[in-house]
Amino acid sequence: MDNYSKEAAKLERAYQRALKATEKAQKELHQALQFEEVEKKNKANLRQIEAIDNILQKPYKLNPEDYYRRQTKAETYPAFILSANDAIVPTKPEIEKYIQQIEKPNAILRLLPFIKKKYDLKVEEACRQHSIDLDKYEKVNEERNRRIARLKEEYEVKKLTKLEKIKQHNENVALLFESYKLGDPGQVVAIAEYVLEQSKYPIDYSKKYRVLYNPQPKELIIEYELPGVSTVPTVLEYRYVKVRDEIVSKPRPKKVVITEYQDLIAAVTLRTIFECFSVDKFNHVEVISFNGMLTTIDPATGHEIRPCLISVRTTKEHFMAINLKMVDKKICLRNLGAVASPRPEESLAIKPIVEFDMFDKRFIESGDALSELDSRPNIMELNPWEFEELITNLFEKIGFETRLTQASRDGGVDCVAFDTRPIVGGKVVIQAKRYKNVVGVSAARDLYGTLVNEGANKGILVTTSHFSQATYDFCKDKPIEMIDGGGLLYLLKENGFEAKIIMPEE
């Protein structure tokens, strides 16, 4: 073998050694990263387990005064600012600058007639140009001043309008706070719902709830969506298996997962009750009834079911004497007389202690005005009470859970509807106007005040006639939907009912 071949073989061996060293280093790096990933997973898993165990240690607390203070808006408005072009003040032409631009002959040359005449002509031309430029300046400046004056006037109108709206808003908030202090049911519910919404849990699940308040005997009724068993970590630890280059997990014992899920349900129940009692600084709530529900699929039918897994009714005096940070959650609930599912992981239902039946003393049983449309298809022949009943029936047909209110005792509400869809649903207040003339903005203002006072998500204004432009303008940035006569007939037809609106003769 010649020297060249020997050298080539030597280089090849060196290359192979370097390649193996690189592959070994890459493998060691990959394994180190896998071990690091395992450590990260184990720490995250442990944090999640600890966070669930400590749910009762971090309840959400709110002073109701802070809630209303947050609803107020600063009574300020941005300062008036000119545009870049308008901010530039035109320079007034001065005659001296025009004269200064003319080369002035010395005293001796000025004695020569033709030199003096030539100079005087230049001065005359400069004066003429100054006059032209001054006229332009005055026109531009006058136009600028008029434009600024108009802009300032528009600014002041917008400013006063905005500040007046802010003032009215803040006055409404102050009135709502006073209503809350006096025990207004809508505001008691609004505060409770705000607390439930702001209360954050270290688990990923869709939080849903419904709240009602019965002024006698000062009872808050809560229907709360519970997390499923899948929110409880099922992994005890992760480890990296080198030979298979695989991260594997060791499961937690099933009994431990079930026990922890039962503890989680108990913790959510106790924490929710505590949060709603704690915010009650004016003693409007003496009793809380809590029903913990779970939306799941029935494995036997494949249909969605919503069993109640836990139910408890307790007084404020009894509950607030408990030190939640030190209790055994299950024993605590048992002592409160709670009824709990023996197998919540299997969605085994229990009967609630108090049914969430949307109780409200204003609600009465409604008739069936829709069925009478065949005999009286002209809606204008219905009396105001029958018209309200018709609207209640219609929204029930559409899919809402509706309640008709007592005449003259409805607090500005003809019908209360509950949209039971998750996330987008909620309480809806409805006003029905059997009018032949235009519906003015005052009706919309009344409905908006009622909407806020009731703590509703939405308001609906229904009429047999139509709405004024001022009504549309008032409602455009508010959660109010307007249904005029044409829209009402369309909704009735869509739901299988033919009707007419024939206005009476003057």
What one-character-per-residue DSSP string does 133-200 give? HHHHHHHHHHHHHHHHHHHHHHHHHHHHHHHHHHHHHHHHHHHHHHHHHTT-HHHHHHHHHHHHHH--
What is the pLDDT at residue 405? Answer: 67
- As given in the structure block, the two tokens for residue 6 are 């020997």
d(CA 78, CA 83): 14
Domain end, chosen from 318, 346, 374, is at 346
Pairing mode, strands 339-340 and 480-483: unpaired
Computed over every residue of the chain, the mean pLDDT equals 86
Residue 423 maps to a domain: yes
Residue 488 maps to a domain: yes
Residue 482 sits in the same domain as residue 393: yes
- Tally Cβ neighbours within 10 Å of residue 265: 24
Mean pLDDT of 494-504: 86
What is the pLDDT at residue 370? Answer: 63
Mean pLDDT of 464-479: 91
Domain that includes residue 444, residue range: 363-494
Residue 290 sits in the same domain as residue 421: no
Residue 251 sits in the same domain as residue 144: no
Selection from 1-15, 196-210, 390-404 with the highest mean pLDDT: 196-210
What is the pLDDT at residue 408? Answer: 42
Q: Mutual orientation of helices 3-53 and 254-278 as an angle, nearest 10°?
A: 50
pLDDT at 228 over 70: yes
Strand partners, 211: 222
Give the E-state strand segments of 329-485 in sequence order.
Answer: 339-340, 363-364, 401-405, 415-419, 426-433, 458-463, 480-483
Pairing mode, strands 219-225 and 287-293: parallel
Residue 273 sits in the same domain as residue 398: no
Residue 331 sits in the same domain as residue 424: no
Residue 260 sits in the same domain as residue 165: no
What is the pLDDT at residue 301? Answer: 86
Residue 307 sits in the same domain as residue 372: no
Residue 116's pLDDT band (cuts 50, 70, 90): confident
d(CA 52, CA 261): 9
d(CA 50, CA 59): 15
Mean pLDDT of 75-98: 89
What is the pLDDT at residue 411? Answer: 44
What is the pLDDT at residue 416? Answer: 79
What is the pLDDT at residue 409? Answer: 41
Residue 124's pLDDT band (cuts 50, 70, 90): confident
Q: What angle do CA 60, 281, 226 make, to 5 degrees?
A: 35
pLDDT at 25 over 80: yes
Residue entry with tokens 């009824």: 339
pLDDT at 233 over 90: yes
List pLDDT tens digits, range 34-79: 989 999 999 999 999 998 899 898 899 989 999 999 989 999 999 9
Q: Which residues of 328-342 are buried (b: 16+ CB within 10 A; e: fewer)?
A: ebeebbeebebbbbe
What is the pLDDT at residue 371? Answer: 62
Residue 210 sits in the same domain as residue 341: yes
Residue 211 maps to a domain: yes
Provide the 8-state DSSP code for 290. Answer: E
Mean pLDDT of 166-182: 91
Tell me the pTM.
0.60
pLDDT at 384 over 70: yes
d(CA 159, CA 260): 57
Residue 5 maps to a domain: no
Residue 489 maps to a domain: yes
Residue 26 maps to a domain: no
List pLDDT tens digits, range 401-444: 777 665 444 445 677 777 766 555 677 889 989 898 899 999 99
Residue 226 sits in the same domain as residue 177: no
Mean pLDDT of 164-192: 91
Count up the domains in the chain and report the number. 3
Residue 332 sits in the same domain as residue 444: no
Residues 6+ positions from 183 with CB-CB distance below 8 Å: 215, 218, 282, 284
Mean pLDDT of 476-488: 91
Query: How many helices (DSSP H) and strands (DSSP E) are in the chain?
Result: 13, 15
**Least confident among 18-22, 144-148, 308-312, 466-470:** 18-22
Residue 54 maps to a domain: no
- As given in the structure block, the two tokens for residue 391 are 């609207």
Share above pLDDT 70 across residues of the chain, in percent, rounded to a whole number: 91
Mean pLDDT of 259-271: 95
Per the CB < 8 A criterion, the answer to whether 462 and 196 are in contact is no
Residues 6+ positions from 202 with CB-CB distance below 8 Å: 48, 51, 52, 55
Residue 381 sits in the same domain as residue 460: yes
What is the pLDDT at residue 153? Answer: 93
| Torsion sign (Cα): 227, 232, 234, 237 | positive
Residue 474 maps to a domain: yes
Pairing mode, strands 401-405 and 415-419: antiparallel
**Least confident among 183-197, 219-233, 422-436:** 422-436
Residue 371 sits in the same domain as residue 434: yes
d(CA 255, CA 342): 13
Mean pLDDT of 308-315: 93
Closest CA to 268 of 225, 211, 317: 225
Domain end, chosen from 346, 375, 393, is at 346
Question: Domain containing 466 — which CATH number?
Answer: 3.40.1350.10
d(CA 289, CA 315): 9
d(CA 111, CA 117): 10
3-class DSSP assignment, residue 402: strand
